[in-house]
Structure 1
Amino acid sequence: MRDFRDAKAMAQTLRDSLTSKAIDISHSESLELVSKMLGVADWNTLSAMLQADHRLPGATVKPRTATASYPAIPLRDFVPFPATVFPLIAGRPKTMRALQDAYDRQREVTLAVQKDATLDEPGFDDIHHVGILAQLLDVQHFEDGTLKVLVQGRRRVTIASFVGETGVYQAEVSELGNEPQPEAPDLIRDTVARFTNYAAAHDINLPPIWPPLEKSADPGRVADIIASHIILPTNDKQDLLATFDPVTRLKRIAAAMGAPLLPRSPALDATWRRALDHANARHHRYATLEHLLLALVDDPDASALLHACKADPVAIRTSLLGYVDNELTNLAIDAGGHARPTEAFARVARHAVLLAKEFGWREVSGGDMLLAIFSENLSPAARLLDKQGVTRQNVLDVMQQRA
């Protein structure tokens, strides 16, 4: 087996075979079955193992070169790390062509972080020169022409050139040498314990990984996985990506988790509980961004922003009620229980903390949460706001006037 696409082909063959015998299973179920057939717990673990070159019997690995050219993707307000899996949304033509080309040709892609997120056509001087090589695991096309891709971070690179004159961004990169991994068992143990508490306090759900963080002997891997989840400004995360020494990187991450974070305002605490109540009242397993926005309509800070943007809160509430009552029935469970925020909900909450810091607030408010929703620009919540004429720039302009 060469890569995850071979596993996907096996899953499709299995599904077709069962269908011919009048046994109908979903594509995701067939992926899980193939994983178990190969002795791996689940599809996410199998995919990560294949992408990280943890070879199954018979696997082959392409030789690596020190310098090479790859399709390249400029990223706004997001720093990727090796050893992690994450989604990307692409809407710029050059970005979409580069992603599609890399996926079709089963090639890796260079991910580079923009220094200025507002630039639509960044050049070499507009990006940070330490990025990563990544493998595309899946590509989804949306009706509005954008792409959503699932990406596996692989390894750090230094970017020597970054050009887009041909209609697709290309980067010439140099890979870092394979240095022996230093041993730091005490630092790993202490940092993982600190991250466990940090994640619980900030509603961070770490997906299953193999090997688990607490059993990893690689300080660089532990540092990168934790760095991808903690709450830090983009420039601070880029500094971590550019910190090549793994022990130094892990020490800096441990220190960052000890820094105090802004608390939620009392009003936002009430709004947070109200969002969960909206989900619980409908027996929903998860609280989504739509539950959150429904609660924000009655948040004093967020409501003031909506009024300043000349939005109609009644119309927003009516649309949201229709959505959560009719479009989220798949989240309902018979036994009830307590709803948990989705990962998108949690990402918005973490982004709101960064926004509040940038504005110089002493606490995170509902206004910060409202603005942060636009970071999930393909969510129904963000699209509903857009239909009401409420844009990220509208909200940002009002907040800057009040800062």
Structure 2
Amino acid sequence: MEETTISKYPLMPLRGLIVFPNMIIHLDVGREKSIAALNSAMERNSRIVLVPQKDANIDEPVDNDLYRTGTLIEIKQVLKLPGGTIRVLVEGENRVKINNFYHKDKFSEVEVEVYDEKEEKNYEIEALMRNTLYQFEQYIKLGKKTAGESLDIVQDISEPGRFADVVASHLSLKVEQKQKILEAIQPKDRLLKLLEFLSHEIQVLEIEKKISDRVKNQMDKTQKEYYLREQMKAIQKELGDTQREEVEEYRKKVDKLGLSEQTLKKVHKEIDRLERMAPNAAEGSVLRTYLDWVVDLPWKEESEDKLDIASSEKILDEDHYGLDKVKERILEFLAVRQMADEMKSPIICLVGPPGVGKTSLAKSVARSLEREFVRMSLGGVRDEAEIRGHRRTYVGALPGRIMQGIKNAGTKNPVFLLDEIDKMSTDFRGDPSAALLEVLDPEQNSTFSDHFIELPFDLSNVLFITTANALHPIPRPLLDRMEVINIEGYTEDEKVSIAKKYLIPRQMKEHGLKSKQFSISKQAIIKTIREYTRESGVRNLERACGTLCRKGVKEIVSNEQEQVKITVQNIHSYLGTPKFRWGEKEKNDEIGVATGLAWTQTGGDILAVEATTMSGTGKLTLTGKLGDVMQESARAALSMIRAKGKYLNIEKDFHKTRDIHIHVPEGAIPKDGPSAGITMSTALISVLSGRRIRRDVAMTGEITLRGKVLPIGGVKEKVLAAHRAAINEVILPKDNKRDVNDIPANVRKKLKIHLVETIEEVWDIALVDAK
């Protein structure tokens, strides 16, 4: 039961502080109204009411800024400090509740109800006190902000109300929370409120302790590592070991590479391994080699494309004569790059016979784009590791030649030439063509991973150009990833222009000749092309030009002549006897000798097919090292002639009474393919009917048992071969009409081209009556 009395006392507001009954504390008083109230209290009975402010930031609080419950205190001691501040020692006496405010000139007074506590105890309050004491003990252990003596003081208090006030005064609670305890008039309510705050504080303190322990452990670990590293530095410095400096250098270089977060993490892991490794460990050299490669690769370095189409076209025309398809494709690529920066680079495959300029064209592309140029020859490559590298577990392991080329280029977007892609082979060491599938796939090569580097490298900006002499040796999946551009052989006129514009000036420069010292006539060049070279390209022609220049230099140096002029009349004295006979068509129209057209890897060629019959039993003999397909074409031609025998005015039972022999000269050279079908059938019908075959007509086409003529490939090369051999007319399958436009216009004008559908049309053109 609480007793109350009504009294009037001076008022002093408190900021951020609460004084409980029975609590002794020092207060520093500085506000004028508070000092005035304090002086008034000292003049009376040394009693004053302390009430907390709701907001501690208010300097001149009004009635609504103050709580309604405060503490009546007794002023024990007053001490004036420098600056006008007064330090007061006070002791709390009773709780008070404000009824009215009275404002004077210098301070305020309040009319309050003073509560005089009568301590009562029962089992419930006893239990609350014990529980509070236990919780307070836990609070002290966890918080370590409250002195251990506080627990001894609290344990000796038996009055529940005073016990609660003393415990509350030792807690680090907010003013609002302490005010709620102050406003709890009944000891039981006070203890329950105190327990609630204690439980909450203990939970917070436990979490704080966990966080603190975790941070402390982490700091201890970091400090320990730092300490150990510093010790290691000192030891290594003392021993003269530079590994630490090397590791730090690697870290600096790697951080500058601009790698992705995942890649950077992996590289740093390898650097950490090197750091922990003994300086002379065997694996250390492997790790250093690996890190040197990673650091030297151009992860971000990129050359800027020169996107001037007119300038690029000029450069391509300067370096190469003709080759319009390839030049057009490169200029298209440049045009698209101007419109779309993020375009993936194409994979171009240049297919054509040797010597037509495939490799040098790739160099010109790099020059026109102002990119770095890398060449990798795939001829004879049998090991997959040549492309993708070896694992680091192998002794002497290195990256594959793709990454080596990128490193040598110094940029991530060079022009990369994969030369002779059709010359790769396969053995027990793997299939290199399969390893190229990822390299030459624009959808995959943005994350190309070399077995040695083991980090994804972006190859999507590399302009890959591959070269091949033929398509059939290239695996289909690899071929599917490339854009094929066919480069056919040069015509005679093109070779003359190339020789005058490129080959002769280059050879003269290499041999130290000036234009006034050495000259070759156009007719001499033509004679060289016709009688001293036989090729689709110009490699042998350049070699012949080199020979002429070399012999000319000899004559000039030996003072035999001051000026050398090569003409048709004297060229044989420099190049010797002609190696080839120009226009190797037959001298006369003959029976059983047809002129066919063949495609080879070195371009087109004419092919004589001879047929003869003799008494026998119908045996068919095929000679000339013919392949299976060509032998089958010969049998099909024979069967077709037998089926049409009654319409052809030939001996009815020739297949029973006569043996037939078909021969293709130059027997040491393998020959295959179906395109000699109409040639062999024409030779057969000629020998069986006794009709002659025109020597100025060449033909190519596949034959069926019904006498239909089917289309073939390599039309341009074959027609050019006919033109070189001074053939006047060419017979082609009608379905090859689309290929006629690929033949140079000047050649088309000189040749008469017949497009046929049936073998009868071929015979009407090629066969003439016997004399």
Higher strand share: 2
What is the TM-score of this pair, normalised by structure 1? 0.47
TM-score with structure 2 setting the length: 0.25
Larger RCO (CA within 8 A; separation ≥ 6): 1
